[in-house]
């Protein structure tokens, strides 16, 4: 899962249809056959997510944000070979607000479904942030489908800091910063939230691997331990498809958050 950075919480908390249809349609379909929805449908979430404890809550994506959301998500989808998308995803939901446990989420997933939010650029949901959220969540789906393709033993040996008790606990304890940190970079993590557990650690590299920022690339140059983790993750993606090689990732353009 990707939580919404506290900075944003404090503020307020190609292959798509024609422009007019993409703005007002309730569902848009990528060339892969993946459907993109903008509001809750029947059985959008697993039944237990509607429990009093989890309390899943959404608000529909405004029409004004649909065109940008579609273009950004489809651009992210197009970075993967078609068969990877078709084998691991069925549908994507983008809401204006996505909440669980009374907390705003940028994204999460369940089985072959990915959920995201877009509260608008003014609230920090830039194109780069939205795209990183997609790669963050999709990396979990891929990793759970192919756990043997990532050498997690070698990955964890690179850590110079023990993992925490997961993302939710990190949020409760106010240990959820997603700002690049020299302290964490030296110890094998991109930022504090990445050290909450193995999955969030992997997610943090995946989002920056597919949608790199200048800060990420500079951190890789400075910290060998981060480069070693990146090599392990690239090997995972190359095992999924040979086109997802180190040269492919090196040529991806930078994004701004």
> What confidence tens digit (pLDDT) does each residue in 77-120 have?
999 999 999 999 999 999 999 999 888 999 999 999 999 999 99
Angle between helices 127-145 and 63-77 (to 10 degrees): 50
Q: Do 235 and 108 lie in a common domain?
A: no
Structure-model confidence comparison of residues 124 and 18, the more confident one: 124
Residue 68 in tokens: 């940008």
Q: Do 140 and 15 lie in a common domain?
A: yes
**Cα–Cα distance for residue pair 226/123, rounded to 1 Å:** 30
Q: Do 54 and 25 lie in a common domain?
A: yes
SS3 of 116, please?
Answer: strand
Q: What is the pLDDT of residues 4-28, one digit of tens each?
A: 543 333 332 333 333 344 556 689 9
Give backbone dihedrals phi and psi of 192, rounded to 5 degrees, phi first.
Answer: -60, -50
SS3 of 136, please?
Answer: helix
Residue 232 lies in a domain: yes
**Cα–Cα distance for residue pair 93/103, rounded to 1 Å:** 18
Structure confidence at residue 166 (pLDDT): 77
Q: Do 14 and 111 lie in a common domain?
A: yes
Structure-model confidence comparison of residues 233 and 11, the more confident one: 233
Q: Do 124 and 13 lie in a common domain?
A: yes
Q: Do 218 and 246 lie in a common domain?
A: yes
Q: Tell me the CA end-to-end span of the chain in Å, nearest whole number.
A: 18
Residue 255 lies in a domain: no
Q: How confident is the model at residue 3 (pLDDT cuts 50, 70, 90)?
A: low
Structural domain count, the chain: 2
**Cα–Cα distance for residue pair 257/251, rounded to 1 Å:** 19
Q: Do 125 and 34 lie in a common domain?
A: yes
**Cα–Cα distance for residue pair 190/201, rounded to 1 Å:** 8
Q: Do 160 and 242 lie in a common domain?
A: yes
Residue finishing a domain among 145, 162, 187: 145
pTM of the full predicted structure? 0.90
Residue 256 lies in a domain: no
Structure confidence at residue 14 (pLDDT): 31
Q: Do 56 and 174 lie in a common domain?
A: no
The mean predicted confidence, pLDDT, of the chain is 90
Supply the range of the domain harboring residue 45.
2-145
Residue finishing a domain among 145, 166, 196: 145
Length reported for the chain: 257
Q: What is the pLDDT of residues 134-170, one digit of tens each?
A: 999 999 999 999 999 999 999 999 999 999 877 778 6
Q: Do 57 and 129 lie in a common domain?
A: yes
Q: Do 139 and 117 lie in a common domain?
A: yes
Residue finishing a domain among 115, 145, 175: 145
Cβ neighbours of residue 236 under 8 Å, at least 6 residues apart?
A: 142, 143, 146, 149, 150
Q: Do 173 and 128 lie in a common domain?
A: no
């Amino acid at each position: 899962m990707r939580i919404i950075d506290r900075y944003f919480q404090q503020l307020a908390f190609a292959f798509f249809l024609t422009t007019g249809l993409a703005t007002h349609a309730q569902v848009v379909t990528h060339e892969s056959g993946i459907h993109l929805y903008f509001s809750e449908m029947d059985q959008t979430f697993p039944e237990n997510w509607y429990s009093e404890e989890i309390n899943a809550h959404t608000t529909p994506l405004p029409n004004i944000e649909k065109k940008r959301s579609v273009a950004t998500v489809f651009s992210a989808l197009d970075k993967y070979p078609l068969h990877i998308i078709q084998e691991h995803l069925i549908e994507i939901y983008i809401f204006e607000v996505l909440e669980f446990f009374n907390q705003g989420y940028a994204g999460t997933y369940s089985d072959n479904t990915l959920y995201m939010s877009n509260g608008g650029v003014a609230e920090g949901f830039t194109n780069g942030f939205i795209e990183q959220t997609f790669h963050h969540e999709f990396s979990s789906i891929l990793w759970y489908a192919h756990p043997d393709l990532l050498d997690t033993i070698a990955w964890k040996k690179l850590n110079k800091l023990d993992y925490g008790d997961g993302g939710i606990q990190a949020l409760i304890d106010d240990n959820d910063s997603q700002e690049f940190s020299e302290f964490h970079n030296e110890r094998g993590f991109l930022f504090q939230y990445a050290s909450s557990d193995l999955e969030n650690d992997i997610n943090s590299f995946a989002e920056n691997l597919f949608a790199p920022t200048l800060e990420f690339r500079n951190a890789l140059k400075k910290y060998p331990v981060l480069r070693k983790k990146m090599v392990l993750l690239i090997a995972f993606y190359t095992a999924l498809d040979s086109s997802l090689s180190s040269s492919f990732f090196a040529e991806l353009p930078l994004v701004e958050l």
